[in-house]
Amino acid sequence: MDDVIDRILDGAKTVAVVGLSDKPYRPSHVVARYLRERGYRVIPVNPMIRAALGEKAYGSLAEIPGGVDLVDVFRKSDQVPAIAEEAIRIGAKYFWMQEGVVNEHARKSLAEAGIPVVMDLCVMKELAKRGR
């Protein structure tokens, strides 16, 4: 799994954070800010907000202009299959389910599409563990 994580962290430049909150105390906001501080371009995906971290928010992955390298998911596990299908449709390179987010069906669909997947881990903790 460490090889997959390293490949994602090294290969991703643009990160769509699905479920990003505009509230600074929420875990999604803390993680997205951390990613941004480490040079990643963060794109908020949340139909309930207009912007977060100074970036326009989009209602879905399909609305994002241009490509997305990594889809980072802060949603309930039962909502992940639809997000995974959308990630496949837009040609995302990688898919990450944050801590507590687990969906084997989505993992299998993504793997069949050739998209590396991380499940039930925090991207911020993985970056910090690697000194980044």
Q: What is the pLDDT of residues 47-68, one digit of tens each?
A: 999 999 999 999 999 999 999 9
Q: How far is CA 122 from CA 1, 51, 70, in A?
A: 13, 23, 14
Angstrom distance (rounded) from CA 105 to CA 13: 26
Angle between helices 104-112 and 80-90 (to 10 degrees): 10
Name 33's Cβ contacts closer than 8 Å, sequence gap at least 6.
24, 53
Q: How far is CA 38 from CA 9, 17, 41, 46, 114, in A?
A: 11, 15, 9, 22, 27
pLDDT score for 20? 98
Tokens of 3: 């090889």
Angstrom distance (rounded) from CA 96 to CA 17: 10
DSSP single-letter state for residue 58: B
- Nearest CA to 2 out of 124, 126, 131, 132 is that of 126
Determine the 3-state secondary structure of 82 from DSSP.
helix
Q: Is the pLDDT of residue 1 over 80?
A: no
Q: Is the pLDDT of residue 35 over 90?
A: yes
pLDDT score for 95? 98
Q: Is the pLDDT of residue 132 over 90?
A: no
pTM score of the predicted model: 0.97
Share of the chain above pLDDT 90, in %: 97
Q: Residue 3's pLDDT band (boundaries 50, 70, 90)? A: very high
